[in-house]
A and B are shown apart, each in its own frame.
Chain A
């Protein structure tokens, strides 16, 4: 057999292969009618019965907040959880650029089909057609809803909404609110949610962390949560559970995600039987402020728009790397993106710009302070733009970004070229869901960044907000009713075996984390894991590196459960304990990500395998072998930190409405 037919992962006994996923529950028929049909076919719940039905929603970001408000309005009994002190703080708040919608307000040829097409193509043909089409279809309603809630989108002088083009697409379909679109959308959803709290339909649990799902007789029936203030372990039961717990980019330790973003909710569900799909698909954003030292706790994103006018370069010679950039003459500079991609230049897609930046730094030509063995940064130079447009024009366009840069780095970007470096930004992978957003555990629904989503192997700018709100306001409320119509289910008592098991496993885990009393802090483990992931499962992945990473992660996980030091008690606010639980789950997720990356011996979207590139170093997809979603089933290992070899279930991707093509940016 040739190398391509025996997967390295199987060869090393890292996973096994199970049955294919046969049904995604999307109704058959023309794609443009699928959603209408699904809504019609989904059973209705009589308003009087809704009060008797309860839903738990974990997460109050765009996806969870919108769903909680909408289900509350419909009259269901909703309990909404978040670990922050208020729903308004969910990580969604940090999104800057904007939200896409096929409104075609600019009359520039946009349409539902074009948004659908762009999203599938942008995702490098690794997304499910029916879901993406629906996303494009409901996108317009999102804008209507948000405007009615008072979201202050940018407007033109005529009083109508303004749009811009974003992320290299040719139509202007992005709605925005200065650089704070996520904030404004989230505040809109938050206010709708608070209205329902006041109306008594939603009960809000802030500073609560979900630590386990309760699965009884094959259905998700509730969660175990820790009250982060009192430390009390609480049981919450319901007829259905929705996870809207966001993305897990923080497995890399350094990312643009909020400090608290984590995988715990998803991972606990995964361990209880929910499949995890495409976990290795990670988006790395090229324009972030570089790391300045070991103390760094997170990375800050700067808008991609900077690449419109800034020129990216590094010195041609390593010796020049610590010189003042202004002293390096033109002929000693390497404008590498313009050199390699003459037609797109500095505007190549995120993954390409990121990978090339890493390449030049790995060659030792990076700039800025030494971090570890390398300088991790490239120049983003506005000297030409300032000469061409004038300082005032550059200031008008980018002033707030320049200010932010100056505040964080203490350097003046009008004088000295900015330094940028790629950073982990978004994960396309997540819990596998069917067309109804239901996971493989009946009654467990997953929305927003937490599901494996509609973005395939790469997400277009301004589409995550769209997906979160589409899921929350329009999709989930329609699909979950089909499930709820079968309820209310038999009430579960507090001493039902499933409840007792879930509860005691949480209590035991908490007790154990506090009892280890080892030598190393939680953060030191997290940093080390992040380092491994970034090195071997970051922008470029290879078989050798991934195998090494898996070993390293296993070693680290073993050490964690032996040597972590979590001080303080379990019955008060204990931030080390919270972090420890999250890092413990990251240590398991990291391994699965590496296995997924190892098994997918092709390059697609955000996933670049060194072994799968064209002669000139471009990503090479293998549609013949990998035109599927990889959905992983957790196998074995009930104890903390124990994992068996996961089982791979493939969901074949079928393209009927769109023709498959290879990307090219040369």
Chain B
């Protein structure tokens, strides 16, 4: 009897837009985890040069001798790069899909700010990241004419302090933190929704709160050191 209900096309859960979203949520959460740790590390600036530099050094020697020097750091770097590739791939796939899903736009549209934030905000974050890595990891250049030279560049603490004594530098970072906060306020909620953790109205509200709280903590936490330096609390 013709009562079978097999789908006409072999479908795979892995090849759906929701799978892409799950990829984005997973990688996004990796970033969140990283950023939280990074923020924690940065806050050590407040404890002074030694605490900060020891921490930076500790990151590089962590797990020795099982891991080589900078072993953990490289693992983290690889994970981060792969996550970034995944995250950006998923973001752009969905972005382009959305573009083709509505080719004729509304004449009278209420603009969807949130998608714009997420997408352009994400692009801004990438640009910031490139700048940030050039600045602190790859080139290690100090923008501060008063504090240059290998002494500064090879001393993480010095480099940080020297950099944020420059107002425009601090401004760039603060803007980036703003973008990050916006990205995370929605992103952290969104990741919970994507992972299916918000199945009741209460869980849904909680997820929104968690999103905003995470964003606030990260933005504030990251902003403290640069501001403290700019206003001369740390020298």
A and B touch in the complex (CB under 8 A): yes
Chain A residues proximal to chain B, CB less than 8 Å: 47, 51, 72-75, 195-196, 198-201
Residues of A with C-beta under 8 A to B1: 47, 73-75
Q: Are B2 and A72 in contact (CB under 8 A)?
A: yes
| Stretch touching chain A among B3-11, B41-49, B114-122, B216-224 | B3-11
Residue in A51, A75, A199 whose CB lies within 8 Å of B5: A199
Q: Are B2 and A195 in contact (CB under 8 A)?
A: no
Residues of B with C-beta under 8 A to A199: 2-5
B86 → chain A closest CB, angstroms:
34
In the docked arrangement, what's the CA distance between A75 and B4, Å?
11
In the docked arrangement, what's the CA distance between A172 and B17, Å?
48
Apart from A73-B2, A198-B7, what are 10 other A-B pairs with CB-CB below 8 Å? A47-B1, A73-B1, A74-B1, A75-B2, A75-B3, A196-B2, A196-B3, A198-B5, A199-B5, A201-B2
A524 → chain B closest CB, angstroms:
33
A422 → chain B closest CB, angstroms:
41
Residues of A with C-beta under 8 A to B7: 198
Residues of A with C-beta under 8 A to B3: 73, 75, 196, 199, 201
Residues of B with C-beta under 8 A to A75: 1-3
In the docked arrangement, what's the CA distance between A201 and B7, Å?
14
A481 → chain B closest CB, angstroms:
14
B1 → chain A closest CB, angstroms:
5
Chain B residues proximal to chain A, CB less than 8 Å: 1-5, 7-8
Residues of A with C-beta under 8 A to B2: 51, 72-73, 75, 196, 199-201
Q: List 5 A-B contacts (CB under 8 A).
A: A195-B5, A196-B3, A198-B7, A199-B3, A199-B5
Residue in A47, A72, A73, A198 whose CB lies within 8 Å of B8: A198
In the docked arrangement, what's the CA distance between A198 and B4, Å?
9
In the docked arrangement, what's the CA distance between A198 and B2, Å?
10
In the docked arrangement, what's the CA distance between A198 and B8, Å?
8
Considering the complex, give the chain A residue whose CB is closest to the CB of B8: A198
Pairs of residues from A and B, 6 with the lowest C-beta to C-beta distance, nearest first: A201-B2, A75-B1, A73-B3, A75-B2, A199-B2, A199-B4
Residues of A with C-beta under 8 A to B8: 198
A268 → chain B closest CB, angstroms:
31
Residues of B with C-beta under 8 A to A198: 5, 7-8
Residues of B with C-beta under 8 A to A51: 2
Residues of B with C-beta under 8 A to A200: 2
* Most A-side CB within 10 Å, residue of B3, B5, B8: B3
In the docked arrangement, what's the CA distance between A610 and B182, Å?
74
Considering the complex, give the chain A residue whose CB is closest to the CB of B3: A73
Residues of B with C-beta under 8 A to A195: 5
In the docked arrangement, what's the CA distance between A51 and B1, Å?
9
In the docked arrangement, what's the CA distance between A291 and B169, Å?
69
A68 → chain B closest CB, angstroms:
13
In the docked arrangement, what's the CA distance between A199 and B2, Å?
7
Considering the complex, give the chain B residue whose CB is closest to the CB of A200: B2
B189 → chain A closest CB, angstroms:
29
Considering the complex, give the chain A residue whose CB is closest to the CB of B2: A201
B9 → chain A closest CB, angstroms:
11
In the docked arrangement, what's the CA distance between A389 and B25, Å?
52
Residues of B with C-beta under 8 A to A196: 2-3
B10 → chain A closest CB, angstroms:
14
Residues of A with C-beta under 8 A to B4: 199
In the docked arrangement, what's the CA distance between A200 and B7, Å?
11
Considering the complex, give the chain B residue whose CB is closest to the CB of A76: B2
B2 → chain A closest CB, angstroms:
5
Considering the complex, give the chain B residue whose CB is closest to the CB of A73: B3
In the docked arrangement, what's the CA distance between A96 and B8, Å?
36
Residues of B with C-beta under 8 A to A201: 2-3
In the docked arrangement, what's the CA distance between A201 and B4, Å?
10
A194 → chain B closest CB, angstroms:
10
In the docked arrangement, what's the CA distance between A195 and B3, Å?
8
Considering the complex, give the chain A residue whose CB is closest to the CB of B7: A198
Residues of A with C-beta under 8 A to B5: 195, 198-199
In the docked arrangement, what's the CA distance between A200 and B3, Å?
9
In the docked arrangement, what's the CA distance between A201 and B3, Å?
8
In the docked arrangement, what's the CA distance between A74 and B1, Å?
7
B138 → chain A closest CB, angstroms:
56
In the docked arrangement, what's the CA distance between A498 and B149, Å?
100
A84 → chain B closest CB, angstroms:
24
B147 → chain A closest CB, angstroms:
68
A195 → chain B closest CB, angstroms:
6
A77 → chain B closest CB, angstroms:
9
Considering the complex, give the chain B residue whose CB is closest to the CB of A72: B2
A86 → chain B closest CB, angstroms:
19
Residues of B with C-beta under 8 A to A73: 1-3
* Most B-side CB within 10 Å, residue of A47, A74, A199, A200: A199
In the docked arrangement, what's the CA distance between A198 and B6, Å?
8
In the docked arrangement, what's the CA distance between A47 and B3, Å?
12
Residues of B with C-beta under 8 A to A74: 1
Considering the complex, give the chain A residue whose CB is closest to the CB of B1: A75
In the docked arrangement, what's the CA distance between A196 and B4, Å?
9
A196 → chain B closest CB, angstroms:
8
In the docked arrangement, what's the CA distance between A47 and B2, Å?
10
In the docked arrangement, what's the CA distance between A646 and B8, Å?
52
* Most A-side CB within 10 Å, residue of B2, B4, B8: B2
A191 → chain B closest CB, angstroms:
11
Residues of B with C-beta under 8 A to A72: 2
B6 → chain A closest CB, angstroms:
9
In the docked arrangement, what's the CA distance between A72 and B3, Å?
8
Residues of B with C-beta under 8 A to A47: 1
In the docked arrangement, what's the CA distance between A195 and B8, Å?
12
In the docked arrangement, what's the CA distance between A489 and B76, Å?
75
In the docked arrangement, what's the CA distance between A195 and B6, Å?
10
B16 → chain A closest CB, angstroms:
19
In the docked arrangement, what's the CA distance between A75 and B3, Å?
8
B89 → chain A closest CB, angstroms:
33
In the docked arrangement, what's the CA distance between A199 and B7, Å?
9
Considering the complex, give the chain A residue whose CB is closest to the CB of B4: A199
B190 → chain A closest CB, angstroms:
29
B3 → chain A closest CB, angstroms:
5
B21 → chain A closest CB, angstroms:
26
In the docked arrangement, what's the CA distance between A297 and B56, Å?
75
In the docked arrangement, what's the CA distance between A200 and B1, Å?
11
